C-alpha cells in the first residue's frame, strides 16, 4: 500500500518537475497552448493521474486526490501566469508593429482633373449662359440629311466634298460621323419655335491628315440664334463679347467674307492676338490675328427646310474650334497634344476641385 502511495508521490513529483521545466522553455502563446494540452487538457498527464485515482485503495484516495489536485492547481496557476505574460508581450509587439509615426509627411493624394477641353466647354457654357444661350447636345453619328441636306448642301452640291467625311457603312441611308456641329442647327429648330438661342459643344470628325493645327477628331462650338429682326450686328456683337470674355476687355474682332452653303452672307472671324497684342508672334503666325471659326446669317433655305418662315424670322450661326481657342489662350502649339493622353501635358491644366 505504502509502496503505491510512494510511487504516486514520485510520479506527481516527476510530472511536476517536467511540467515546470517545459513551462520555463515556453516562449510563445502557441507553445503555451500545447503545454496546457499536454498537462492539463482532457488527455493531459495530470488529468490522467486524476482518472487513475479510482484504482487506488479507498483509504489512500483522499490523500492521493489532494496531492494530485494540489499539483493541478499549482500548474494551472503557473500556466495562467505564463499565458498572461505571453499575451501581454504579443499585444505589445503587435502595437509596436502597427505604430504610426505621426511625424512622417503624408503621402500625396493624386486627384483627377477635368480635361482642358471639358474645362473650356464649361467656360464657354458659362459665358453664353450670361448672353441668354442654352447649351444643347447632339449625336456624333449623323445622317447625311442633317449633316448636309438640311444645311443647304444637297447630294449633288460640290460643297459636299469640302468636308472630308468619314462615312459609316449603311446600305439604306447615308450615315456619317458628323463633320461639324452644324447639323444641330436643324435638329434644334425642328424641336423648338423662335426665339432660339442655343450653343452646341461637341466632337466633330473629318477624314483629314493630322498636323499641328488639324486632327481627325476635334471639338467645335456651334451657336445659333433665330428670332424676328436678328441682324448681322447681333452676330458681331455676340462674337465680340465672346472674344472679350475669353481673351480680355480690349480685344478686337475681325470679320471677313467667307462661304458656307448654310449662311448668307458668310464670314470667317478672328480675334487680335492676345499674346502679342496684335503685334505678331509665333502663336498668331506673325499676322496679329487668330482665326476662331466661321459664321453668318442663317440661309433662308435652312429656315425653310425646318418649317420656319424666312420672311418673318432671321438668324445667325457660328462654329468655332474649341482646341484652337485653348491654344490661343495658353500658347500650346500642337493641337494633337489634346488627344495624346500624356498626363504630363494634361496635368498643366489641372485645376483644384472645389
Catalytic center residues: 163, 180, 206, 220, 263, 317
Neighbours of 9 (CB within 10 A): 13
Contact between 128 and ligand FA5 by CB under 6 A: the answer reads: no
225 touches ligand FA5 by CB under 6 A: no
User: How many chain residues bind ligand FA5 (CB under 6 A)?
Assistant: 24
Task: Scan residues 198-217 and list those touching ligand FA5 (CB under 6 A).
Answer: 206, 208, 214-215
- Is 116 or 296 the residue whose CB approaches ligand FA5 more closely? 296
Residue 225: closest CA among 296, 123, 153? 296
CB-nearer residue toward ligand FA5: 30 or 211: 211
| Residues 283 and 333: beta-carbon distance below 8 Å | yes
Binding-site member from 39, 128, 247, 260 for ligand FA5 (CB under 6 A): 260
- Other CB atoms within 10 Å distance of the CB of residue 109: 5
Cα 326 to Cα 215: distance, rounded to the nearest angstrom: 15
By beta-carbon proximity to ligand FA5, the closer residue of 83 and 255 is 255
| Nearest residue relative to ligand FA5 (C-beta) | 321
Distance, CA of 291 to CA of 320 (rounded, Å):
9
Beta-carbon count within 10 A of 259 CB: 14
End-to-end CA distance of the chain: 92
Q: Can residue 299 be called a binding residue for ligand FA5 (CB under 6 A)?
A: no
- Should residue 121 be labelled a site residue for ligand FA5 when binding is judged by CB under 6 A? no
Residues 6+ apart with CB under 8 A from 326: 116, 117, 120, 332, 338
Residues facing 226 on adjacent strands: 196, 315
- CA distance to 95, 154, 271, 297, 316, per residue, from 229 (Å): 79, 28, 26, 12, 11
Q: How far is the CB of 110 from ligand FA5 (least distance, A)?
A: 30
Per-residue binder mask for ligand FA5 (CB under 6 A), 313-342, x = binder = ----xxxxx-xx----------x-------
Check residue 263 for interaction with ligand FA5 (CB under 6 A).
Answer: yes
Q: Interface with ligand FA5 includes 271 (CB under 6 A)?
A: no
Please give the C-alpha separations between residue 119 and each of 112, 128, 322, 348, in angstroms, as whole numbers. 13, 14, 10, 13
Which residue lies nearer to ligand FA5 by CB, 49 or 199?
A: 199
Instruction: Using CB under 6 A, pick the residue from 116, 294, 305, 315 that binds ligand FA5.
Output: 294
Under DSSP, is residue 229 helix (H, G, I), strand (E, B) or coil? coil
* Residue span binding ligand FA5 (CB under 6 A) among the ranges 117-125, 126-134, 225-233, 290-298: 290-298
What is the residue-wise DSSP string for 69-86? HHHHHHHHHHHHHHHHHH
Q: Which stretch binds ligand FA5 (CB under 6 A): 91-99, 114-122, 134-142, 294-302?
A: 294-302
Nearer to ligand FA5, 274 or 320 (CB): 320
Q: Whole-angstrom Cα distance, residue 189 to residue 309?
A: 12
The yes or no reply on residue 116 touching ligand FA5 (CB under 6 A) is: no
Q: Is the peptide bond before 195 cis (omega within 30 degrees of 0)?
A: yes
Q: Min. distance of Cβ 246 from ligand FA5 in angstroms?
A: 14
Please report, as ranges, the residues that interact with ligand FA5 according to CB under 6 A. Answer: 180, 182, 206, 208, 214-215, 218, 220, 260, 263, 266, 291, 293-296, 317-321, 323-324, 335
Amino acid at each position: 500500500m505504502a509502496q503505491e502511495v510512494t510511487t504516486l508521490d514520485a510520479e506527481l513529483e516527476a510530472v511536476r518537475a517536467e511540467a515546470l521545466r517545459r513551462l520555463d522553455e515556453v516562449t510563445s502563446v502557441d507553445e503555451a497552448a500545447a503545454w496546457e494540452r499536454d498537462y492539463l487538457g482532457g488527455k493531459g498527464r495530470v488529468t490522467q493521474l486524476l482518472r487513475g485515482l479510482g484504482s487506488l485503495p479507498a483509504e489512500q484516495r483522499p490523500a492521493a486526490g489532494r496531492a494530485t489536485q494540489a499539483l493541478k492547481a499549482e500548474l494551472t496557476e503557473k500556466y495562467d501566469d505564463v499565458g498572461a505574460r505571453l499575451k501581454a508581450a504579443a499585444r505589445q509587439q503587435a502595437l509596436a508593429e502597427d505604430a504610426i509615426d505621426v511625424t512622417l509627411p503624408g503621402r500625396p493624394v493624386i486627384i483627377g482633373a477635368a480635361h482642358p477641353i471639358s474645362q473650356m466647354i464649361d467656360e464657354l457654357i458659362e459665358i453664353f449662359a450670361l448672353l441668354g444661350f442654352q447649351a444643347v447636345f447632339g449625336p456624333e453619328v449623323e445622317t447625311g440629311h442633317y449633316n448636309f441636306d438640311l444645311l443647304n448642301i444637297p447630294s449633288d452640291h460640290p460643297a459636299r466634298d469640302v468636308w472630308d467625311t468619314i462615312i459609316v457603312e449603311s446600305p439604306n441611308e447615308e450615315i456619317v460621323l458628323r463633320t461639324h456641329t452644324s447639323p444641330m442647327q436643324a435638329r434644334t429648330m425642328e424641336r423648338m419655335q423662335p426665339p432660339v438661342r442655343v450653343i452646341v459643344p461637341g466632337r466633330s470628325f473629318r477624314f483629314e491628315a493630322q498636323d499641328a493645327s488639324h486632327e481627325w477628331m476635334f471639338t467645335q462650338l456651334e451657336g445659333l440664334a433665330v428670332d424676328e429682326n436678328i441682324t448681322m450686328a447681333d452676330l458681331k456683337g455676340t462674337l465680340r463679347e465672346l472674344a472679350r470674355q475669353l481673351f480680355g476687355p480690349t480685344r478686337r474682332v475681325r470679320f471677313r467674307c467667307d462661304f458656307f452653303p448654310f449662311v448668307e452672307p458668310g464670314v470667317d472671324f478672328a480675334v487680335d492676338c492676345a499674346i502679342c497684342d496684335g503685334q505678331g508672334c509665333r502663336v498668331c503666325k506673325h499676322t496679329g490675328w487668330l482665326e476662331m471659326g466661321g459664321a453668318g446669317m442663317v440661309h433662308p433655305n435652312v429656315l425653310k427646310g425646318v418649317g420656319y418662315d424666312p420672311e418673318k424670322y432671321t438668324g445667325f450661326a457660328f462654329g468655332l474650334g474649341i482646341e484652337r481657342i485653348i491654344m490661343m489662350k495658353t500658347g500650346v502649339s500642337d493641337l494633337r497634344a489634346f488627344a495624346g493622353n500624356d498626363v504630363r501635358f494634361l496635368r498643366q491644366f489641372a485645376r483644384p476641385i472645389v
